[in-house]
Structure 1
Amino acid sequence: MAPTALYPLKFDPIYQYRIWGGRRLSNLLLKPLPPDDPIGEAWILSDRDDHPSKVSNGNLQGQTINQLIENSSAELLGKLAGKFKRFPLLLKFLDCQKVLSVQVHPADQLKKYIPKGENGKTEAWVVLQTGKDALIYAGLKPGTTKELIRTDLDAHTVGDDLASFKPTVGDAVLIKAGTVHTLNDVVVFEVQENSDVTYRLYDWDRVDEKTGQPRDLQVEEALACIDFSKTDIKPSIPIKIDEGIDKGHALCEKLLSDEHFKVWRLTSELPFMVGKMATCRILVNIEGDGEIEYNDELYPFKKGEVMLLPASVGSCPFVPKGKVVLLEVALPEG
Structure 2
Amino acid sequence: MIGTNGGNLSTNQTTKEILFLDPVCTHNIWGGTRLREDFHYPVEGDDLWECWGISAHPNGDVTLRDCGFRGMKLSELWKKHPEVFGNVDSDRFPLLIKIIDAKDDLSIQVHPDDDYAKVHENGSLGKTECWYILDCKENATIVIGHNAGTKEELSRMIHEGKWSEFIREIPIKKGDFLQIDPGTVHAIKGGTLILETQQNSDITYRVYDYGCLSNGKPRELHIDKSIDVITVPAKSAADSVKSVADLPVNTLNELYACKYFHIYKIDVSGKMTFEQNAPFMNMTVTDGNGIVNGQPVKKGDHFILPNGFGNVELQGSMQIIASTI
8 Å CA contact 1:163, 1:232 repeated in 2? no
Q: How has the CA–CA distance of structure 1 residues 34 and 113 changed in structure 2, closer, same or farther, with 3 Å as cutoff?
A: farther
2:57 to 41, 48, 57: 48
Cα distance in 1, alignment partners of residues 245 and 279 from structure 2: 22
1:316 to 312, 317, 325: 312
| Cα pair distance change 1:64/1:112, threshold 3 Å | closer
Note the 1:141-290 alignment, pairs <5 A.
Answer: 141=147, 143-185=148-190, 186-208=192-214, 211-233=215-237, 234-236=240-242, 238=244, 250-274=250-274, 276-277=276-277, 279-290=279-290
* 2:254 maps to amino acid: K
**Which amino acid is 1:235 matched to?**
V
Post-superposition offset of 1:328: 1.8
Structure 1 regions of 5+ residues with no counterpart? 243-248
> RMSD of the alignment, in Å?
2.3
Pair 1:223–1:275, CA change in 2 (3 A) = farther
**Residue of structure 2 aligned with 1:69, choices 74, 78, 94:** 78
1:98-138 Cα offsets, whole Å, 9 max, x none, are 11111110011225654224111110000001024732111
Give the counterpart letter for 1:276 in structure 2. Answer: Q
C-alpha distance in 2 between matches for 1:146 and 1:229 = 8
- Distance in 1, Cα, partners of 2:304 & 2:93: 11
- Which string of whole-angstrom CA distances, capped at 9 and with x for unpartnered residues, describes residues 22-54 of structure 1? 212224322223224x12211001111232111
What is the TM-score when the length of structure 2 is the normalising length? 0.87
% identical equivalent positions? 26
For residues 237 and 132 of structure 1, what CA distance do their matches in structure 2 show?
15
**Alpha-carbon distance, 1:147 to partner:** 3.5
1:229 maps to a residue whose letter is P
Would you say the 8 A contact 1:12–1:31 is kept in 2? no
Flag structure 2 segments of 5+ consecutive residues without an equivalent. Answer: 1-14
Tell me how far 1:187 sits from its aligned partner: 0.2
Specify whether residues 114 and 93 from structure 1 end up closer, same or farther in structure 2 by C-alpha distance, changes over 3 A only.
farther
Distance 1:262 1:179, change over 3 A: same
Alignment check: 8 A CA contact 2:272 2:314 kept: yes
1: CA distance, partners of 2:105 / 2:282 = 29
Letter of the 1:41 partner, please give it.
Answer: E
Cα pair 2:112 2:203 within 8 Å, conserved: yes
Higher strand proportion (structure 1 or 2): 2
Q: Deviations over 1:125-176 (max 9, x none)?
A: 00001024732111112x4334434443455432431222111111000000
TM-score by length of 1: 0.85
Aligned length: 308
2-side partners of 1:55 and 1:252: how far apart? 25
